[in-house]
Amino acid sequence: MSVAVENFVKAIYNNDKHDIKDTKPGNIAKKLGISNAAATDMAKKLAARDLLNYEKYQELQLTDKGVKMALNVIRKHRLWEAFLFKMFDMSLHDIHREAELLEHQTSDLLAEKISAYLGHPKFDPHGDPIPNANGEITTKDTSISLSEAMEGKTYTIARLMSDDKEFFEFCTQNGIKYRNTLTITKQFSGNKMTQILVGTNTIVLNEDFTKNIYVEEH
Amino acid sequence: MSVAVENFVKAIYNNDKHDIKDTKPGNIAKKLGISNAAATDMAKKLAARDLLNYEKYQELQLTDKGVKMALNVIRKHRLWEAFLFKMFDMSLHDIHREAELLEHQTSDLLAEKISAYLGHPKFDPHGDPIPNANGEITTKDTSISLSEAMEGKTYTIARLMSDDKEFFEFCTQNGIKYRNTLTITKQFSGNKMTQILVGTNTIVLNEDFTKNIYVEEH
DNA sequence: TTTTATTTTTAAGTAAGCTTAAATATTTTA
DNA sequence: TAAAATATTTAAGCTTACTTAAAAATAAAA
Protein backbone atom coordinates (compact mmCIF):
# COMPACT_ATOMS: atom_id res chain seq x y z
CA MET A 1 0.00 0.00 0.00
CA SER A 2 1.66 3.17 -1.20
CA VAL A 3 1.86 6.50 0.58
CA ALA A 4 -0.47 8.05 -2.01
CA VAL A 5 -3.10 5.37 -1.45
CA GLU A 6 -2.88 5.57 2.33
CA ASN A 7 -3.18 9.33 2.27
CA PHE A 8 -6.14 9.21 -0.10
CA VAL A 9 -8.06 6.76 2.04
CA LYS A 10 -7.16 8.69 5.18
CA ALA A 11 -8.36 11.97 3.65
CA ILE A 12 -11.75 10.45 2.83
CA TYR A 13 -12.07 9.00 6.31
CA ASN A 14 -11.13 12.23 8.07
CA ASN A 15 -13.32 14.29 5.82
CA ASP A 16 -16.26 12.01 6.32
CA LYS A 17 -15.89 12.40 10.06
CA HIS A 18 -15.37 16.07 10.48
CA ASP A 19 -16.38 18.20 7.51
CA ILE A 20 -19.67 19.08 6.06
CA LYS A 21 -19.86 15.71 4.40
CA ASP A 22 -18.31 16.15 0.98
CA THR A 23 -16.16 13.29 -0.17
CA LYS A 24 -16.34 14.00 -3.87
CA PRO A 25 -12.99 13.85 -5.66
CA GLY A 26 -12.66 17.63 -5.83
CA ASN A 27 -12.79 18.11 -2.09
CA ILE A 28 -10.37 15.26 -1.42
CA ALA A 29 -8.07 16.69 -4.09
CA LYS A 30 -8.09 20.02 -2.28
CA LYS A 31 -7.16 18.39 1.03
CA LEU A 32 -4.30 16.48 -0.57
CA GLY A 33 -3.07 19.32 -2.77
CA ILE A 34 -3.51 17.39 -6.02
CA SER A 35 -5.62 18.10 -9.11
CA ASN A 36 -9.24 17.01 -9.41
CA ALA A 37 -8.27 14.82 -12.32
CA ALA A 38 -5.72 12.97 -10.21
CA ALA A 39 -8.30 12.40 -7.50
CA THR A 40 -10.88 11.00 -9.93
CA ASP A 41 -8.19 8.77 -11.36
CA MET A 42 -7.15 7.48 -7.96
CA ALA A 43 -10.78 6.95 -6.94
CA LYS A 44 -11.30 4.62 -9.90
CA LYS A 45 -8.15 2.66 -9.11
CA LEU A 46 -9.07 2.27 -5.45
CA ALA A 47 -12.58 1.17 -6.38
CA ALA A 48 -10.98 -1.61 -8.43
CA ARG A 49 -9.09 -2.63 -5.30
CA ASP A 50 -12.26 -2.65 -3.23
CA LEU A 51 -11.11 0.16 -0.96
CA LEU A 52 -14.00 2.44 -1.86
CA ASN A 53 -17.19 2.67 -3.88
CA TYR A 54 -17.06 4.94 -6.85
CA GLU A 55 -19.92 6.10 -9.03
CA LYS A 56 -19.56 8.97 -11.42
CA TYR A 57 -20.40 12.33 -9.88
CA GLN A 58 -21.25 10.73 -6.52
CA GLU A 59 -19.62 10.90 -3.12
CA LEU A 60 -16.73 8.49 -2.51
CA GLN A 61 -17.52 5.93 0.15
CA LEU A 62 -14.90 3.81 1.84
CA THR A 63 -15.60 0.09 1.99
CA ASP A 64 -14.94 -1.81 5.22
CA LYS A 65 -11.53 -2.62 3.81
CA GLY A 66 -10.92 1.07 3.12
CA VAL A 67 -11.99 2.11 6.60
CA LYS A 68 -9.71 -0.53 8.07
CA MET A 69 -6.76 0.81 6.10
CA ALA A 70 -7.55 4.40 7.10
CA LEU A 71 -7.79 3.50 10.77
CA ASN A 72 -4.53 1.56 10.64
CA VAL A 73 -2.72 4.62 9.29
CA ILE A 74 -4.51 6.97 11.68
CA ARG A 75 -3.53 4.73 14.60
CA LYS A 76 0.12 4.98 13.62
CA HIS A 77 -0.11 8.72 13.11
CA ARG A 78 -1.62 9.32 16.53
CA LEU A 79 0.70 6.91 18.29
CA TRP A 80 3.68 8.75 16.79
CA GLU A 81 2.19 12.06 17.93
CA ALA A 82 1.71 10.79 21.46
CA PHE A 83 5.16 9.23 21.51
CA LEU A 84 7.08 12.21 20.10
CA PHE A 85 5.13 14.52 22.39
CA LYS A 86 6.20 12.51 25.40
CA MET A 87 9.81 11.99 24.38
CA PHE A 88 10.87 15.28 22.83
CA ASP A 89 10.34 18.96 23.30
CA MET A 90 8.79 19.78 19.96
CA SER A 91 5.85 21.94 18.88
CA LEU A 92 2.55 20.23 18.18
CA HIS A 93 2.86 21.31 14.59
CA ASP A 94 6.33 19.84 14.13
CA ILE A 95 5.16 16.64 15.78
CA HIS A 96 2.24 16.50 13.39
CA ARG A 97 4.55 16.94 10.43
CA GLU A 98 6.89 14.14 11.51
CA ALA A 99 3.96 11.82 12.22
CA GLU A 100 2.56 12.54 8.77
CA LEU A 101 5.68 10.94 7.29
CA LEU A 102 6.43 8.23 9.83
CA GLU A 103 2.87 6.84 9.81
CA HIS A 104 3.47 5.26 6.40
CA GLN A 105 6.72 3.53 7.34
CA THR A 106 5.75 1.94 10.60
CA SER A 107 5.16 -1.79 10.96
CA ASP A 108 2.29 -3.08 13.06
CA LEU A 109 4.94 -4.50 15.37
CA LEU A 110 6.56 -1.13 16.01
CA ALA A 111 3.17 0.54 16.45
CA GLU A 112 2.35 -2.03 19.11
CA LYS A 113 5.67 -1.43 20.89
CA ILE A 114 5.03 2.31 20.94
CA SER A 115 1.49 1.81 22.18
CA ALA A 116 2.65 -0.51 24.96
CA TYR A 117 5.41 1.90 25.98
CA LEU A 118 2.82 4.66 26.37
CA GLY A 119 0.44 2.40 28.29
CA HIS A 120 -1.94 2.02 25.34
CA PRO A 121 -3.19 5.61 25.40
CA LYS A 122 -6.69 6.34 24.14
CA PHE A 123 -5.98 9.87 22.97
CA ASP A 124 -3.16 11.72 21.24
CA PRO A 125 -1.88 15.17 22.31
CA HIS A 126 -4.52 16.89 20.17
CA GLY A 127 -7.25 14.91 21.92
CA ASP A 128 -7.94 12.70 18.92
CA PRO A 129 -8.82 9.10 19.78
CA ILE A 130 -6.24 6.41 18.96
CA PRO A 131 -7.76 3.34 17.29
CA ASN A 132 -6.67 0.05 18.84
CA ALA A 133 -4.72 -2.62 16.97
CA ASN A 134 -7.99 -3.95 15.51
CA GLY A 135 -8.86 -0.54 14.12
CA GLU A 136 -11.59 0.11 16.67
CA ILE A 137 -12.18 3.41 18.41
CA THR A 138 -13.54 2.42 21.79
CA THR A 139 -14.12 5.91 23.15
CA LYS A 140 -17.28 7.68 22.16
CA ASP A 141 -16.98 11.20 20.94
CA THR A 142 -19.35 13.70 22.52
CA SER A 143 -17.38 16.77 21.52
CA ILE A 144 -18.74 19.62 19.43
CA SER A 145 -17.01 22.29 17.42
CA LEU A 146 -16.46 25.51 19.33
CA SER A 147 -18.26 27.30 16.51
CA GLU A 148 -21.41 25.44 17.56
CA ALA A 149 -21.00 25.90 21.32
CA MET A 150 -23.10 28.20 23.48
CA GLU A 151 -22.40 31.62 24.91
CA GLY A 152 -21.92 31.67 28.67
CA LYS A 153 -21.05 28.01 29.01
CA THR A 154 -17.76 26.52 30.19
CA TYR A 155 -16.20 23.67 28.22
CA THR A 156 -13.23 21.32 28.29
CA ILE A 157 -11.05 21.30 25.19
CA ALA A 158 -11.44 17.87 23.61
CA ARG A 159 -9.55 18.14 20.34
CA LEU A 160 -7.52 20.51 18.20
CA MET A 161 -8.05 19.62 14.56
CA SER A 162 -5.73 21.33 12.14
CA ASP A 163 -2.73 21.00 9.89
CA ASP A 164 -1.98 24.69 10.16
CA LYS A 165 1.20 25.82 11.85
CA GLU A 166 -0.13 29.24 12.78
CA PHE A 167 -3.17 27.72 14.43
CA PHE A 168 -1.00 25.62 16.72
CA GLU A 169 1.35 28.48 17.50
CA PHE A 170 -1.65 30.58 18.43
CA CYS A 171 -3.03 27.81 20.64
CA THR A 172 0.29 27.28 22.38
CA GLN A 173 0.71 30.99 23.07
CA ASN A 174 -2.78 31.29 24.50
CA GLY A 175 -3.06 28.21 26.68
CA ILE A 176 -5.50 26.49 24.31
CA LYS A 177 -4.58 22.88 24.73
CA TYR A 178 -6.08 19.44 25.21
CA ARG A 179 -8.01 19.12 28.51
CA ASN A 180 -7.78 22.82 29.41
CA THR A 181 -10.97 24.67 30.26
CA LEU A 182 -12.51 27.59 28.41
CA THR A 183 -15.62 29.75 28.79
CA ILE A 184 -17.47 31.39 25.92
CA THR A 185 -17.91 34.95 27.12
CA LYS A 186 -19.46 36.42 23.99
CA GLN A 187 -20.50 35.51 20.44
CA PHE A 188 -20.71 38.01 17.63
CA SER A 189 -22.80 38.17 14.48
CA GLY A 190 -23.87 34.59 13.96
CA ASN A 191 -20.84 32.91 15.45
CA LYS A 192 -18.41 34.49 12.99
CA MET A 193 -16.41 35.72 15.99
CA THR A 194 -16.26 34.16 19.43
CA GLN A 195 -14.82 35.66 22.59
CA ILE A 196 -13.46 33.11 25.05
CA LEU A 197 -11.79 33.09 28.43
CA VAL A 198 -8.89 30.67 28.93
CA GLY A 199 -7.28 30.96 32.33
CA THR A 200 -6.96 34.73 32.74
CA ASN A 201 -6.70 35.38 28.99
CA THR A 202 -9.60 36.81 27.06
CA ILE A 203 -9.28 35.92 23.40
CA VAL A 204 -11.36 36.65 20.34
CA LEU A 205 -11.32 33.98 17.65
CA ASN A 206 -12.72 34.00 14.14
CA GLU A 207 -14.47 31.04 12.59
CA ASP A 208 -11.33 29.72 10.89
CA PHE A 209 -10.00 28.96 14.34
CA THR A 210 -13.15 28.07 16.28
CA LYS A 211 -14.09 25.38 13.78
CA ASN A 212 -10.83 23.55 14.57
CA ILE A 213 -11.40 23.53 18.34
CA TYR A 214 -13.63 20.77 19.69
CA VAL A 215 -14.99 20.97 23.19
CA GLU A 216 -17.06 18.97 25.66
CA GLU A 217 -19.53 20.16 28.26
CA HIS A 218 -17.90 20.68 31.57
CA MET B 1 15.49 13.35 -2.59
CA SER B 2 13.55 10.16 -3.19
CA VAL B 3 13.90 6.90 -1.30
CA ALA B 4 15.35 5.25 -4.41
CA VAL B 5 18.04 7.92 -4.73
CA GLU B 6 18.93 7.82 -1.05
CA ASN B 7 19.21 4.04 -1.10
CA PHE B 8 21.31 4.10 -4.25
CA VAL B 9 23.79 6.56 -2.83
CA LYS B 10 23.86 4.70 0.47
CA ALA B 11 24.54 1.40 -1.26
CA ILE B 12 27.54 2.85 -3.07
CA TYR B 13 28.88 4.38 0.11
CA ASN B 14 28.50 1.21 2.16
CA ASN B 15 29.89 -0.95 -0.58
CA ASP B 16 32.85 1.31 -1.07
CA LYS B 17 33.66 1.05 2.63
CA HIS B 18 33.25 -2.62 3.30
CA ASP B 19 33.32 -4.84 0.21
CA ILE B 20 36.04 -5.84 -2.11
CA LYS B 21 35.73 -2.51 -3.87
CA ASP B 22 33.21 -3.00 -6.66
CA THR B 23 30.83 -0.12 -7.17
CA LYS B 24 29.90 -0.93 -10.75
CA PRO B 25 26.18 -0.77 -11.47
CA GLY B 26 25.77 -4.55 -11.44
CA ASN B 27 27.01 -4.95 -7.91
CA ILE B 28 24.93 -2.05 -6.62
CA ALA B 29 21.93 -3.51 -8.44
CA LYS B 30 22.46 -6.81 -6.64
CA LYS B 31 22.56 -5.08 -3.24
CA LEU B 32 19.37 -3.18 -3.98
CA GLY B 33 17.53 -6.04 -5.65
CA ILE B 34 16.99 -4.18 -8.92
CA SER B 35 18.10 -4.97 -12.48
CA ASN B 36 21.48 -3.96 -13.87
CA ALA B 37 19.71 -1.82 -16.42
CA ALA B 38 17.91 0.10 -13.69
CA ALA B 39 21.18 0.71 -11.88
CA THR B 40 22.94 2.02 -15.01
CA ASP B 41 19.96 4.23 -15.64
CA MET B 42 19.97 5.61 -12.13
CA ALA B 43 23.74 6.14 -12.22
CA LYS B 44 23.38 8.39 -15.26
CA LYS B 45 20.62 10.39 -13.63
CA LEU B 46 22.56 10.87 -10.42
CA ALA B 47 25.65 11.90 -12.37
CA ALA B 48 23.53 14.64 -13.95
CA ARG B 49 22.64 15.76 -10.43
CA ASP B 50 26.28 15.80 -9.36
CA LEU B 51 25.84 13.05 -6.79
CA LEU B 52 28.34 10.70 -8.43
CA ASN B 53 30.80 10.40 -11.30
CA TYR B 54 29.78 8.05 -14.03
CA GLU B 55 31.88 6.80 -16.93
CA LYS B 56 30.79 3.89 -19.04
CA TYR B 57 32.02 0.55 -17.74
CA GLN B 58 33.83 2.20 -14.82
CA GLU B 59 33.27 2.13 -11.06
CA LEU B 60 30.71 4.60 -9.70
CA GLN B 61 32.27 7.22 -7.47
CA LEU B 62 30.27 9.42 -5.14
CA THR B 63 31.00 13.13 -5.30
CA ASP B 64 31.34 15.13 -2.09
CA LYS B 65 27.66 15.95 -2.44
CA GLY B 66 26.87 12.24 -2.81
CA VAL B 67 28.91 11.29 0.23
CA LYS B 68 27.18 13.98 2.22
CA MET B 69 23.77 12.63 1.25
CA ALA B 70 24.81 9.07 2.08
CA LEU B 71 26.13 10.06 5.49
CA ASN B 72 22.99 12.02 6.28
CA VAL B 73 20.85 8.95 5.62
CA ILE B 74 23.26 6.64 7.43
CA ARG B 75 23.22 8.96 10.43
CA LYS B 76 19.43 8.71 10.60
CA HIS B 77 19.50 4.97 10.15
CA ARG B 78 21.96 4.43 12.97
CA LEU B 79 20.27 6.88 15.29
CA TRP B 80 16.99 5.04 14.80
CA GLU B 81 18.74 1.75 15.52
CA ALA B 82 20.26 3.08 18.70
CA PHE B 83 16.97 4.67 19.75
CA LEU B 84 14.73 1.67 19.05
CA PHE B 85 17.28 -0.60 20.70
CA LYS B 86 17.17 1.49 23.85
CA MET B 87 13.41 2.00 23.96
CA PHE B 88 11.95 -1.32 22.87
CA ASP B 89 12.62 -4.99 23.25
CA MET B 90 13.10 -5.88 19.60
CA SER B 91 15.57 -8.08 17.75
CA LEU B 92 18.51 -6.41 16.04
CA HIS B 93 17.13 -7.57 12.73
CA ASP B 94 13.68 -6.09 13.31
CA ILE B 95 15.29 -2.87 14.46
CA HIS B 96 17.36 -2.79 11.29
CA ARG B 97 14.27 -3.29 9.16
CA GLU B 98 12.36 -0.46 10.84
CA ALA B 99 15.36 1.87 10.58
CA GLU B 100 15.67 1.06 6.89
CA LEU B 101 12.24 2.63 6.37
CA LEU B 102 12.27 5.41 8.95
CA GLU B 103 15.65 6.78 7.83
CA HIS B 104 14.06 8.29 4.72
CA GLN B 105 11.24 10.06 6.54
CA THR B 106 13.15 11.73 9.34
CA SER B 107 13.80 15.45 9.43
CA ASP B 108 17.17 16.77 10.53
CA LEU B 109 15.34 18.25 13.49
CA LEU B 110 13.99 14.91 14.68
CA ALA B 111 17.35 13.24 14.11
CA GLU B 112 18.93 15.85 16.35
CA LYS B 113 16.27 15.32 19.05
CA ILE B 114 16.92 11.57 18.99
CA SER B 115 20.66 12.09 19.10
CA ALA B 116 20.39 14.47 22.06
CA TYR B 117 18.06 12.11 23.92
CA LEU B 118 20.64 9.35 23.57
CA GLY B 119 23.49 11.64 24.63
CA HIS B 120 24.88 11.95 21.11
CA PRO B 121 26.10 8.35 20.86
CA LYS B 122 29.08 7.56 18.63
CA PHE B 123 28.05 3.99 17.80
CA ASP B 124 24.84 2.11 17.05
CA PRO B 125 23.94 -1.29 18.53
CA HIS B 126 25.84 -3.07 15.75
CA GLY B 127 28.94 -1.09 16.55
CA ASP B 128 28.69 1.05 13.43
CA PRO B 129 29.80 4.65 13.90
CA ILE B 130 27.10 7.34 13.83
CA PRO B 131 28.04 10.38 11.70
CA ASN B 132 27.46 13.71 13.43
CA ALA B 133 25.04 16.36 12.15
CA ASN B 134 27.73 17.62 9.75
CA GLY B 135 28.15 14.17 8.27
CA GLU B 136 31.50 13.55 9.89
CA ILE B 137 32.58 10.30 11.46
CA THR B 138 34.91 11.36 14.24
CA THR B 139 35.87 7.90 15.45
CA LYS B 140 38.60 6.09 13.62
CA ASP B 141 37.95 2.51 12.60
CA THR B 142 40.70 0.04 13.45
CA SER B 143 38.52 -3.05 13.20
CA ILE B 144 39.18 -5.95 10.83
CA SER B 145 36.91 -8.64 9.50
CA LEU B 146 36.97 -11.82 11.58
CA SER B 147 37.81 -13.70 8.40
CA GLU B 148 41.14 -11.82 8.38
CA ALA B 149 41.88 -12.19 12.10
CA MET B 150 44.55 -14.47 13.57
CA GLU B 151 44.32 -17.84 15.25
CA GLY B 152 44.97 -17.82 18.98
CA LYS B 153 44.25 -14.13 19.45
CA THR B 154 41.49 -12.58 21.53
CA TYR B 155 39.40 -9.75 20.08
CA THR B 156 36.59 -7.38 20.99
CA ILE B 157 33.57 -7.43 18.68
CA ALA B 158 33.49 -4.04 16.98
CA ARG B 159 30.69 -4.37 14.43
CA LEU B 160 28.11 -6.78 13.08
CA MET B 161 27.54 -5.98 9.40
CA SER B 162 24.59 -7.73 7.82
CA ASP B 163 21.05 -7.45 6.55
CA ASP B 164 20.39 -11.13 7.14
CA LYS B 165 17.85 -12.15 9.75
CA GLU B 166 19.40 -15.57 10.36
CA PHE B 167 22.80 -14.02 10.97
CA PHE B 168 21.42 -11.84 13.74
CA GLU B 169 19.41 -14.67 15.26
CA PHE B 170 22.56 -16.77 15.30
CA CYS B 171 24.55 -13.98 16.93
CA THR B 172 21.92 -13.35 19.58
CA GLN B 173 21.71 -17.03 20.47
CA ASN B 174 25.46 -17.33 20.78
CA GLY B 175 26.40 -14.22 22.67
CA ILE B 176 28.01 -12.61 19.65
CA LYS B 177 27.29 -8.96 20.23
CA TYR B 178 28.85 -5.54 20.17
CA ARG B 179 31.69 -5.16 22.72
CA ASN B 180 31.74 -8.82 23.73
CA THR B 181 35.03 -10.70 23.61
CA LEU B 182 35.93 -13.67 21.45
CA THR B 183 39.01 -15.84 20.93
CA ILE B 184 39.92 -17.56 17.69
CA THR B 185 40.67 -21.10 18.80
CA LYS B 186 41.20 -22.65 15.37
CA GLN B 187 41.15 -21.81 11.69
CA PHE B 188 40.49 -24.39 9.00
CA SER B 189 41.62 -24.67 5.37
CA GLY B 190 42.41 -21.10 4.36
CA ASN B 191 39.97 -19.36 6.71
CA LYS B 192 36.90 -20.99 5.14
CA MET B 193 35.94 -22.15 8.63
CA THR B 194 36.80 -20.47 11.91
CA GLN B 195 36.38 -21.87 15.41
CA ILE B 196 35.82 -19.25 18.09
CA LEU B 197 35.25 -19.16 21.83
CA VAL B 198 32.62 -16.72 23.09
CA GLY B 199 32.11 -16.90 26.84
CA THR B 200 31.90 -20.65 27.38
CA ASN B 201 30.55 -21.38 23.88
CA THR B 202 32.73 -22.89 21.20
CA ILE B 203 31.34 -22.11 17.76
CA VAL B 204 32.45 -22.95 14.24
CA LEU B 205 31.59 -20.29 11.69
CA ASN B 206 31.85 -20.39 7.93
CA GLU B 207 33.03 -17.47 5.87
CA ASP B 208 29.51 -16.17 5.19
CA PHE B 209 29.29 -15.30 8.86
CA THR B 210 32.89 -14.40 9.71
CA LYS B 211 33.02 -11.80 6.97
CA ASN B 212 30.17 -9.92 8.69
CA ILE B 213 31.84 -9.81 12.10
CA TYR B 214 34.37 -7.04 12.65
CA VAL B 215 36.75 -7.19 15.60
CA GLU B 216 39.43 -5.14 17.26
CA GLU B 217 42.56 -6.29 19.02
CA HIS B 218 42.04 -6.76 22.67
C1' DT C 1 45.53 -14.71 -28.26
C1' DT C 2 41.28 -16.16 -29.39
C1' DT C 3 37.10 -17.93 -27.79
C1' DT C 4 33.73 -17.97 -24.19
C1' DA C 5 31.45 -16.15 -20.38
C1' DT C 6 30.04 -12.32 -17.92
C1' DT C 7 28.79 -7.45 -17.44
C1' DT C 8 27.28 -3.29 -18.94
C1' DT C 9 24.67 -0.62 -21.80
C1' DT C 10 20.95 0.55 -24.89
C1' DA C 11 16.27 0.22 -26.32
C1' DA C 12 11.61 -0.37 -25.69
C1' DG C 13 7.95 -0.80 -22.55
C1' DT C 14 5.15 -0.61 -18.02
C1' DA C 15 2.79 1.21 -13.74
C1' DA C 16 2.07 4.78 -10.40
C1' DG C 17 0.97 9.33 -9.68
C1' DC C 18 0.81 13.19 -11.04
C1' DT C 19 -0.15 17.50 -14.66
C1' DT C 20 -3.06 20.69 -17.98
C1' DA C 21 -6.76 21.36 -21.22
C1' DA C 22 -11.07 20.24 -23.07
C1' DA C 23 -15.58 17.96 -22.75
C1' DT C 24 -19.42 16.83 -19.99
C1' DA C 25 -22.35 16.83 -16.13
C1' DT C 26 -24.25 19.01 -12.10
C1' DT C 27 -25.53 22.93 -9.30
C1' DT C 28 -26.66 27.48 -8.51
C1' DT C 29 -28.90 31.70 -9.41
C1' DA C 30 -31.47 34.85 -11.81
C1' DT D 1 -36.63 26.74 -16.05
C1' DA D 2 -33.01 28.46 -18.62
C1' DA D 3 -28.53 30.50 -18.40
C1' DA D 4 -24.33 30.90 -15.92
C1' DA D 5 -21.13 29.10 -12.81
C1' DT D 6 -18.89 25.29 -10.86
C1' DA D 7 -17.36 20.57 -10.51
C1' DT D 8 -16.24 16.21 -12.52
C1' DT D 9 -14.55 13.44 -15.91
C1' DT D 10 -11.94 12.25 -19.97
C1' DA D 11 -7.91 12.63 -22.77
C1' DA D 12 -3.24 13.29 -23.61
C1' DG D 13 1.15 13.76 -21.68
C1' DC D 14 5.01 13.86 -18.20
C1' DT D 15 8.48 11.90 -14.66
C1' DT D 16 10.26 8.36 -11.72
C1' DA D 17 11.63 3.94 -11.15
C1' DC D 18 11.45 0.05 -12.52
C1' DT D 19 11.20 -4.32 -16.16
C1' DT D 20 12.93 -7.62 -20.13
C1' DA D 21 15.51 -8.43 -24.28
C1' DA D 22 19.10 -7.51 -27.37
C1' DA D 23 23.57 -5.28 -28.48
C1' DA D 24 28.11 -4.01 -27.16
C1' DA D 25 31.98 -4.05 -24.28
C1' DT D 26 34.90 -6.14 -20.88
C1' DA D 27 36.91 -9.94 -18.34
C1' DA D 28 38.07 -14.75 -17.90
C1' DA D 29 39.48 -19.13 -19.66
C1' DA D 30 41.30 -22.26 -22.88
Question: Is it the case that residue A218 has pLDDT exceeding 90?
Answer: no
Give yes or no for a contact between A106 and B99, defined as CB atoms under 8 angstroms apart.
no
Query: Pick from A26, A45, A62: which residue ends a domain?
Result: A62
Q: Is residue B81 part of a domain?
A: no
pLDDT digits (tens, 9 = 90+) for A166-176: 898 999 999 99
pLDDT for the residue A164: 83
pLDDT at position B165 is 85
Provide mean pLDDT across the span B65-84. Answer: 98
Report the pLDDT averaged over residues B92-101: 96
Which whole number is the average pLDDT over A146-166? 89
Beta strand extents in chain B (DSSP E only): 52-53, 61-62, 144-145, 154-160, 181-188, 193-198, 201-206, 213-217
pLDDT band at A162 (very low <50, low <70, confident <90, very high): confident
Mean pLDDT, all residues of chain B:
93
pLDDT tens-digit map of A45-80? 999 999 999 999 999 999 999 999 999 999 999 999
pLDDT tens profile A100-149: 999 999 999 999 999 999 999 999 999 999 999 999 999 888 999 898 89
Judge whether A4 is closer than 8 Å to chain B, CB to CB: no
Distance B139 CA to D18 C1' (A): 38
pLDDT the model gives residue A18: 62
- Given a cut of 80, is residue A25 above it in pLDDT? yes
In a domain, A203, yes or no: yes
The answer, yes or no, to whether residue B190 has pLDDT greater than 90, is no
The residue count for chain A: 218
The pLDDT, as a whole number, for residue A36 is 97
Span CA (A39) to C1' (D5), Å:
22
> Which of A62, A80, A111 finishes a domain?
A62
Inform me whether the C-beta atom of residue B102 falls under 8 Å from chain A C-beta atoms: yes
User: Which residue is closest to C6 in terms of CA–C1' distance?
Assistant: B26
Determine the distance in angstroms separating the CA of B178 from the nearest CA of chain A, rounded to an integer.
Answer: 23
Task: Tell whether the model's pLDDT for residue B188 goes beyond 90.
Answer: no
| Set of chain A residues whose Cβ sits within 8 Å of the Cβ of B91 | none
Residues B138-177 have pLDDT tens digits of 988 899 989 889 999 999 999 988 878 889 899 999 999 9
Could you give the 3-state DSSP secondary structure of residue B163? Answer: coil
Contact B104 A109 (CB under 8 A): no
Cα A73 vs. chain centroid, distance in angstroms? 12
- Give the model's confidence band at B116: pLDDT under 50 very low, under 70 low, under 90 confident, else very high: very high
Residue B40 lies in a domain: yes
| Angstrom distance, A124 CA to D12 C1' | 45
| Position A121 in a domain | no
Q: Indicate which CATH number applies to the domain containing A212.
A: 2.30.30.90
Residues contacting nucleic strand C by the 7 Å CB criterion are A 2-5, 8, 33-38, 41-42, 45, 56-57; B 24-27, 29, 36-37, 40-41, 43-44, 54, 56-58
Looking at residue B19, its pLDDT comes to 57
What are the tens digits of pLDDT across the range B1-43? 899 999 999 999 998 766 557 899 999 999 999 999 999 999 9
User: Taken in order A150, A156, A159, A162, is the CA torsion positive or negative?
Assistant: positive
Residue B94: which of A84, A101, A109 has the nearest Cβ?
A109
Question: How many structural domains is chain A composed of?
Answer: 2
Neighbours of B56 (CB within 10 A): 7
Nearest to A102 among B87, B105, B114 (CB): B105
Does A200 contact chain B (CB < 8 Å)? no
Inside any domain, residue B109 = no
| Separation of alpha carbons A182 and A174, rounded Å | 11
Which of A94, A105, A106 is nearest residue B109 as measured by Cβ atoms? A94
Q: Which domain CATH number covers B20?
A: 1.10.10.10
**Which chain B positions have a beta carbon within 8 Å of A7's beta carbon?**
none
Q: What is the mean pLDDT of residues B189-204?
A: 87
Residue B32, domain member (yes or no): yes
Looking at the complex, does the CB of residue B107 fall below 8 Å from at least one CB of chain A?
Answer: yes
Question: What is the span of the domain harbouring residue A199?
Answer: 144-217
d(C-alpha B140, C-alpha A21), whole Å: 60
Last residue of a domain, one of A62, A84, A108: A62
Residue A168 domain-assigned (yes or no): yes
Spatial distance between the Cα atoms of A217 and A55, rounded to a whole number of angstroms: 40
Q: Rounded mean pLDDT of chain A?
A: 93
Cα–chain-centroid distance for residue B13?
10
User: What is the rounded average pLDDT of the residues A181-199?
Assistant: 88
Task: Return d(Cα B167, Cα B176) in angstroms, integer.
Answer: 10
pLDDT of residue B207: 85
Q: Is the dihedral of CA B26, B32, B37, B40 positive or negative?
A: negative
Those nucleotides of strand D lying less than 7 Å from any protein Cβ are 7-12, 16-22, 25-27
Is B207 inside any structural domain?
yes
